[in-house]
């Protein structure tokens, strides 16, 4: 995936990051290589099994790394682990966008005859599936739509708005951040916590997320 340079192996992460932000691509390659296995494992765990044949985790990670190269000059070091958190945000967003595109192509008749309101809840149902530890039963996915719609009214307004902009309206992270007047990192946290709150609010109706 990423070529490793031999001349910079002794540099610390902070030194590599400084050189990378100054335009040294080889330093950035080396830095990403240090996180590559951990990030790849994250993608592998979150990619739904039914979509695994359509895209490989390696391809998703490679696309995310392209985003990193494009955005490294804009990265802001906000403390310990800031770079890794930034990487995770980019990888998660690339994974989410890939899953959404694949699921949109696969939906077809599976979600036929839903109302407009029900249809708007589908992306949230699917993202809850992505964040579950085991695959959901496809027979129960349709049942979850109503539960998600009801649970949305029970979570914090900030979380609800972030989820609706990101997953229902389909805005990317940058667009969502602009609409909310927040940073991109804040949007990532709002969506993650919002999905957690949504699962809790669903109560017993969320059991489909943990059944195989």
pLDDT in tens, 26-77: 999 999 999 999 999 999 988 887 777 778 889 889 889 988 998 898 888 8
∠93-111-148 over CA atoms, to 5°? 60
pLDDT in tens, 157-191: 898 898 888 877 778 778 888 889 988 778 878 88
**3-state class of 126 per DSSP?**
helix
Q: How far apart are CA 7 and CA 96, in angstroms?
A: 36
Q: How far apart are CA 154 and CA 110, in angstroms?
A: 27
List the chain domain ranges: 113-212
Q: How far apart are CA 110 and CA 85, in angstroms?
A: 36
Q: With contact defined as beta carbons under 8 Å apart, do 86 and 93 qualify?
A: no
Taking the C-alpha atoms of 86, 50, 169 and 178 in order, what is their torsion angle to the nearest 10 degrees? 10
CB-hemisphere CA count at 13 Å for 147? 19
Burial (0-12, 13-18, 19+ Cβ within 10 Å), 28: buried
* Two structure tokens written together for 163: 């989820």
Write out the H or E segment, with its range, that includes residue 119: helix 116-130
Which pLDDT band holds residue 109 (cuts at 50, 70, 90)? very low
Per-residue pLDDT at 40: 93
Q: What is the CA radius of gyration of the chain?
A: 19
Average pLDDT over residues 90-107: 76
Q: How far apart are CA 110 and CA 119, in angstroms?
A: 11
| Inter-CA distances, 130 with 10, 13, 56, 99, 185, Å | 38, 31, 15, 9, 20
- Give me the helix-helix angle, 57-71 and 25-46, nearest 10°: 140
Burial (0-12, 13-18, 19+ Cβ within 10 Å), 180: middle
* Two structure tokens written together for 149: 């719609």
State pTM to two decimals: 0.53
Which pLDDT band holds residue 196 (cuts at 50, 70, 90)? confident
Is the model's pLDDT at 87 over the cut of 90? yes
Which of 103, 95, 143 is CA-nearest to residue 123?
A: 103
Q: Does 86 or 141 have the greater pLDDT score?
A: 86
Domain 113-212 fold is Arc Repressor Mutant, subunit A (1.10.10)
Output the average pLDDT for the chain. 76
Which pLDDT band holds residue 204 (cuts at 50, 70, 90)? low
């Amino acid at each position: 995936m990423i070529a490793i340079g031999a001349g910079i192996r002794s540099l610390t992460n902070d030194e590599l990051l400084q050189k990378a932000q100054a335009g040294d691509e080889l330093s950035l390659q080396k830095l990403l290589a240090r996180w590559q296995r951990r990030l790849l494992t994250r993608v592998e765990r979150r990619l739904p099994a039914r979509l695994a044949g359509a895209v490989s985790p390696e391809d998703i990670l490679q696309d995310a790394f392209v985003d990193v190269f494009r955005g490294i000059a804009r990265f802001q070091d906000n403390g310990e682990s800031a770079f890794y958190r930034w990487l995770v945000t980019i990888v998660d967003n690339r994974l989410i966008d890939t899953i959404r595109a694949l699921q949109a192509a696969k939906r077809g008749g599976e979600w036929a005859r839903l109302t407009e309101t029900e249809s708007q809840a589908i992306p949230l149902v699917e993202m809850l599936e992505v964040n579950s530890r085991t695959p959901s039963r496809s027979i129960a996915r349709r049942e979850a739509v109503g539960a998600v719609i009801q649970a949305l009214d029970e979570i914090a307004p900030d979380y609800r708005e972030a989820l609706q902009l990101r997953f229902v309206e389909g805005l990317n992270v940058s667009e969502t951040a602009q609409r909310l007047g927040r940073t991109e990192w804040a949007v990532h946290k709002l969506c993650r916590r919002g999905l957690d709150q949504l699962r809790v609010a669903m109560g017993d109706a969320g059991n489909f997320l943990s059944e195989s």
